[in-house]
Amino acid sequence: MRKTDPIETKMATPDLRAAQADFASTFDAFKTANDARLAEIEQKSSADTVLIDKVERLNAALDSQSKTIARLSVSAAQPALGGASVDLQAKSAWSDYIRTGDASAMAGLEGKSLSVVDADGGYIAPAQTQSAIDRALSESSAFRAIATVRTIGAGLFKKPVASAGAAAGWAGETDVRPETTSPSLELLEFPAGELYAMPAATQMLLDDGLADVDQWLADEVRDVFAAQESAAFVAGNGVNKPKGILDYDKAVDGSQNWGELGYIATGTDGGFDADAPIDALLDLIYAPKPRYRPGASFMMNRRTVAALRKFKDADGNYIWQPATQAGQPSTLMGYPLVEMEDMPDIGAGSYAAAFGDFRRGYLIVDRQGVRVLRDPYSAKPYVLFYTTKRVGGGVQDFDAIKLLKFAAS
C-alpha cells in the first residue's frame, strides 16, 4: 500500500491563518514533486505514473485551498451593514412588505424612498437593500473587482472616446504654430440588460423578526447574479446583456483596427510551445503599451492556471506564486492572476488567457434601482421574490486588453 502524504490528507480549518499555512505546505510539496517529475522527464524523457498522479493531486489541492482562502478572506473583510443613515420609515415599510406582503405603508412613500414598479405590486428596493446586494455582488464577482463600475440613472450609457489622438508638437516662443488635427471620436454605447433571480423563502423565515431580510435577499441573489454577470463579461453577445471581451473582433496584435482586440499566438495549435512555453506569456505581457502594465493582471480559468503552475522561468523559478497576504491574488510572472471560470479551456484556437489593465479596458454599468416583486402564490408554501437588476458592460479601451490565442498564428 502506498504511504499517504500527510499534506494531501490534511483537513482544512476555518481559521484563515491555518488555511494559509496549509496552502504554503501544499505548495512546497507540489514544487518538490513537480521538480522530481521534470528531472525524470529530462533524464528518461518520461515521468513515473505515480509521480505524475501525485503532482496532479497536489495541483487540485492547491485549487481547493485557494478557494477556501478566498472565501475566508471575504468573510474577514466583510463590513457591517451600518454606517450610512437609514430612512427608518422606509425600512419599516419595506420590511412589512417583504415579510407579510402588506404594501399599505409603501404607498405613502411612493416618490420619496420607494416607488411602485407595476400593478402587480413590485417595488424598487430602498437604498440599504440595493447597497447590500451591490456589496455582496462585488465580493462574489472577480471581474467587478478589476473592472471600472459606474452607476447610471438611465437604461443606456454613452461614452465618446478618441479612436485617434490629436496632433501635438514643440515650438519656440515666437515660432509659428501649425494647425493641429482634431481627434477622431467614436461613440460607445453600453445598454443595460435585465438580470433576474427568484429566491424563495418559507413563511417561518419571514416571520422571524430577528432575521435581516435585506441581507438574506442579498445573499440569495449574489451567486446567481455573479455567475450570470461573469459569463456575460467574458463572452456575452451584447444582446440584452453585457458584451464580453471574447465577443469582439480579434486580430494579430499590431494589425488590429479600432474596435478590435489584439492577440498573441502561442505558436502551437492547442498548447504552448514545447521548447519555450513561457515565451508567449512574455510576448503577451509586452503587448500592451507601457502605461497599461502597472495596473495589469492575467485572467484565465483554474484549469489553465493548473497547467501554468508547473512552468519555470530560465532561472528555475516557478512563474506562478501564491499570494503573500490575505485577500491578495496569486501572481503569474509577477502580475496578479484573476481566476475566471468562464474563460475557455486551453484548446485549438481558443483564447484561454487575457492580460491587461481591465480597469481601464472594461466598463460595467449598473442602472440604479433593484426591483423586487413578492409572489406568495406560484410555489406554495414558499414565497418567491422576483428580483431584477439592470447591468451592462463592454470594452471601453481596446488597447488595454490583449488575448492569448492557442494557435500557430
Is residue 9 within a helix (H) or strand (E), and if so which, with residue range? Answer: helix 6-9
pLDDT at res. 362 = 97
DSSP one-letter string for 81-103: S-SS---HHHHHHHHHHHHH---
3-state class (DSSP) for residue 350:
coil
pLDDT at res. 330 = 92
Q: Are 130 and 367 in contact (CB under 8 A)?
A: no
Q: Which residues have C-beta within 8 Å of that of residue 162, sequence separation ≥ 6?
A: 183, 184, 185, 186
Helix intervals (H) in 141-193: 142-146
pLDDT at res. 83 = 42
DSSP one-letter string for 99-146: HH---HHHHTTBTTTB-B-STT--EEPPHHHHHHHHHHHHHH-HHHHH
pLDDT at res. 22 = 79
pLDDT at res. 255 = 94
Helix intervals (H) in 268-321: 279-285, 302-308
Q: What is the DSSP letter of 4?
A: P
Domain boundaries, the chain: 11-76, 84-163+181-301+340-409
Identify the bridge partners of residue 140 per DSSP, sorted by sequence position. none
Give residue-wise pLDDT tens across range 18-39.
777 777 888 888 888 888 888 8
CA 370/CA 187 separation, integer angstroms: 28
Give residue-wise pLDDT tens across range 299-321.
999 999 999 999 999 899 999 99
Judge if the upstream peptide bond of residue 199 is cis by omega within 30 degrees of 0: no
pLDDT at res. 82 = 45
Position 27: which residue type?
F
CA 67/CA 225 separation, integer angstroms: 19
**Is residue 171 classed exposed, middle or buried when 0-12, 13-18 and 19+ CB atoms within 10 A define those classes?**
exposed
pLDDT at res. 47 = 77
Give residue-wise pLDDT tens across range 161-178.
877 666 677 777 777 777
pLDDT at res. 125 = 78
Residue 81 C-alpha cell reads as 451593514
Low-confidence ranges of the chain (pLDDT < 50): 1-13, 78-85, 113-114, 119
